[in-house]
Structure 1
Amino acid sequence: MSLGANRHLIGRPMANADFATPALLIDLDSFQANIATMADLTRRRGVDLRPHGKAHKSGRIGRMLIDAGAVGVCCATVREAEVMADAGLDGVLVTTPVVAPGMIARLVHAREKAGSLALVVDNAVEVECLAAMARPDRPIDVLVDVDMGLGRTGITTPEEAVALAERISAAPALRYRGVQAYYGHLQHVPALGDRHAKVAEQWRHLAGILDALAAAGLPAEIVSGGGTGTHHLDLAHGPFTELQPGSYLFMDKQYGAVEMAPGGSPFRTALSVAARVVSVAQPDRVIVDAGSKALSTDAGPALIASGASPDAVYQFMGDEHGAVRLAAGSARPRLGDLITFTAPHCDPTVNLFDQFHIVQDGRLVDIWPIEARGH
């Protein structure tokens, strides 16, 4: 893939008039620290780590995570799974049910390239389609998807879990491995105590399903779930054999508002969006070249990271533009200045770009393609 318009600036300072914006930035030191921190936290608890690729959509980053000790990579889309398999990564887990035969065929093909590939299911139709397409000499691992209160996908009763596990186990080309139990709706509960109470309720629900599977002779070898916002609770008290967080790599405005763990978050904000001031015609604001096509819109406005007063406020002004509203008496950015923003929500912000611009000590040191956009 192309390295984009800034490829000739690698090795030069970020404060460069030729730097094309908007651009997605990774602070390399913070990013590497986040990788090491989560790897260490899970290792010390004896829990496997399978980070979620929906956060980064990058085969290169997937490889870095596995090299740091991860057992594999989670994927939310068929395209993500294909990219990770093409990168030669092992332990690919597709975390959403896939029912279209053509998309299942693509996953079966990806299995030819990956050391192992697993899917989650919550219905017999998907199991039957997988069983018909997969090869016994290249079996596909399958987890029963359990609804953990999100109300999105996943079975809801022990009886459903046992029936699906039995159906998977009867298929020669499939290997029943356990369950996925993800509670995305609890990742951003602000207070740690409130979040603990809510996840504990779901753990009790999951325990009934795990007990039923074990009683049926189908114990769950893998219990995959958890996330960035619940990682502290998941590791200290949870039922998981592996965690699948993703946003910890980058962090964002949403996670900055969460009481992540006692004493604060162990992770640094590593992701930002650089934009340039393109108009100073309005007296109370400056206009930058980053709008809804450069910053996610599902979590309110972005935060000012650098280049403008901390009390300045970002406002979406359309697809290509945003306003930085300035408080009375605050320093006014000049035409052409760079302003960086903390993303409201990191995952969908990454999905808006084709490259990561890697920054260290104020210099652009590399550019990494984002290959796994699309479906």
Structure 2
Amino acid sequence: MDPSYRVRNSSALPSPALLVYPEKIRNNTALALAIAGNPERLWPHIKTHKTQEITAIQREAGIRKFKCATMAEAEMLARCGVKVVLLAYQPVGPNIPRLVELCQRYAEVSFLVIADDRRIAAELSEQFSRAGGRIEVLLDIDPGMGRTGVAPDEKAVELYLELGKLKGIVAGGLHCFDGHNNQEDPEARMSAARECLAALDLLQDRVQRRGGKVPRRILGGTSTFPCYAKLGNVELSPGTCFLQDWHNLKRYQDLPFQPAALLFARVVSKPASGRVTVDAGCKAIASDPPAERGIVYSDEGFKPLFQSEEHWVFEVQDSQRFKVGDELYILPTHICPTFALHQSVRVVDASGDWVDSWPVLARDREL
């Protein structure tokens, strides 16, 4: 492990603790900007970190548009002074009037939202027009992932054109997340991205032939946004790359983002020869994915055996080199849900000192 990750004043640091390294976040942000070529193309997805402070770092770099997944994240962005916010989650139930109220309370913010359902679009139209407002709605397109959205076919053309006719709604373009395009091989990933973009190009052409306007297309996560940056007139919405995690680090070796968040833990028991237990249970690190939840980044030879709420047990061949109380640094496999497990993160400055704590404000569903 790079020695810059070690905390110099760690003796006072409680464990487990999620550490963040602002200088490394700035470096990752600069790299994302270089890939995008223009800050106007970037919509960082803040569901990864849910913090005002990391949002501020990205705004200082010139980024002004942000993407989020929850109403709390949207409100946090508005509180931060962000002026353009995409809620990339179709609102249902009471979240529709909540969205109307949020738009009224932060009238200086341009909120956008996605939809893929006629009934929800009609409800958005009814509630926004009744309140005397309007909102941009992007049609959510399913590129084959099968999670949300509509297929880019003639039915999508009809639905998009219907959006443009509803009061209280402005048809704002197309949104597409291709999380299934996670090929390790960069050329295979690029090929999949080309196929996805070709389908959107065809859809846009059909809409425009019938008089519709498509002012923007927002697509791509961490794995594919570098592909789309090279391919065409699209806007980009990566999230994980700003903090990086073990999944992306090992899978996408062509993307040189550096880890900017680690889980700090300590050995709490040595129950048997060749076995070490640390205080990093599933309440401290995400159990998504269920298999490899992270790696011990600071040392080698750790094989995970099992994990419970407050404990993580490893097989370590040369376990005699560790004693109870020793410190470990763990790189989570999935950083986004790991952040949501922590009320706050500990800030480590460029000199290696723990200097501050930042609240993970939008981990709550309501602020």
Query: If the length of structure 2 is used for normalisation, what is the TM-score?
Result: 0.90
SS of equivalent to 1:257:
helix
* Equivalent residue for 1:108, pick from 84, 100, 115: 100
SS of equivalent to 1:54:
helix
CA contact (8 A) 1:297 1:344 kept: no
* Equivalent residue for 1:353, pick from 339, 342, 360: 342
CA contact (8 A) 1:229 1:260 kept: no
- 1:333 CA displacement: 2.1
The CA distance in 2 between the partners of 1:98 and 1:354, in whole Å, is 25
SS of equivalent to 1:134:
helix
The CA distance in 1 between the partners of 2:328 and 2:97, in whole Å, is 45
- 1:353 CA displacement: 0.8
The CA distance in 2 between the partners of 1:79 and 1:178, in whole Å, is 24
* Equivalent residue for 1:190, pick from 179, 184, 188: 184
SS of equivalent to 1:148:
coil
CA contact (8 A) 2:161 2:207 kept: no
CA contact (8 A) 1:25 1:357 kept: yes
Q: Partner of 2:297 in structure 1?
A: 305
Q: Partner of 1:218 in structure 2?
A: 212
Percent identical residues: 29
SS of equivalent to 1:286:
strand
The CA distance in 2 between the partners of 1:315 and 1:73, in whole Å, is 39
Tell me if 1:32 matches 2:21.
no
SS of equivalent to 2:145:
coil
CA contact (8 A) 1:47 1:235 kept: no
CA contact (8 A) 2:284 2:341 kept: yes
SS of equivalent to 2:244:
coil
Tell me if 1:55 matches 2:48.
yes
Tell me if 1:144 matches 2:139.
yes
Structure 2 counterparts to residues 276-287 of structure 1, below 5 A: 276-287=266-277
The letter for the 1-side match of 2:259 is: T
- 1:37 CA displacement: 1.5
The letter for the 1-side match of 2:348 is: V
SS of equivalent to 1:180:
strand
Q: Deviations over 1:46-96 (max 9, x none)?
A: 861010011111133223323322231111122221222233322110112
- 1:318 CA displacement: 0.5
The letter for the 2-side match of 1:212 is: R
Q: Deviations over 1:251-288 (max 9, x none)?
A: 11110122353xxx231111111111111232112211
Q: Partner of 2:86 in structure 1?
A: 93
SS of equivalent to 2:13:
coil
The CA distance in 2 between the partners of 1:34 and 1:144, in whole Å, is 30
Structure 2 counterparts to residues 260-271 of structure 1, below 5 A: 260-261=253-254, 265-271=255-261
* Equivalent residue for 1:254, pick from 233, 247, 254: 247
The letter for the 1-side match of 2:304 is: Y
Change (3 A) 1:39 1:60: same
The CA distance in 1 between the partners of 2:320 and 2:99, in whole Å, is 53
Q: Partner of 1:275 in structure 2?
A: 265
Tell me if 1:117 matches 2:111.
yes
Aligned residues: 353
CA contact (8 A) 2:40 2:64 kept: no
Change (3 A) 1:39 1:137: farther
Change (3 A) 1:36 1:305: same
Q: Partner of 1:9 in structure 2?
A: none
Structure 2 portions without partners, runs of 5+: 1-6
SS of equivalent to 2:314:
strand
Query: If the length of structure 1 is used for normalisation, what is the TM-score?
Result: 0.88
Q: Deviations over 1:84-128 (max 9, x none)?
A: 22333221101121221x111111122131511000010111111
RMSD over equivalenced CA pairs, Å: 2.0
Q: Partner of 2:357 in structure 1?
A: 367
Tell me if 1:171 matches 2:166.
yes
CA contact (8 A) 1:291 1:316 kept: no
Q: Partner of 1:337 in structure 2?
A: 326
SS of equivalent to 1:218:
coil
Change (3 A) 1:137 1:41: farther
SS of equivalent to 2:203:
helix
SS of equivalent to 1:273:
strand
Structure 1 portions without partners, runs of 5+: 1-11
- 1:36 CA displacement: 1.5
Change (3 A) 1:26 1:176: same
The CA distance in 1 between the partners of 2:15 and 2:76, in whole Å, is 26
SS of equivalent to 2:171:
strand
SS of equivalent to 1:184:
coil
* Equivalent residue for 1:66, pick from 34, 43, 59: 59
SS of equivalent to 2:205:
helix
SS of equivalent to 2:208:
helix
CA contact (8 A) 2:274 2:319 kept: no
The CA distance in 2 between the partners of 1:86 and 1:174, in whole Å, is 24
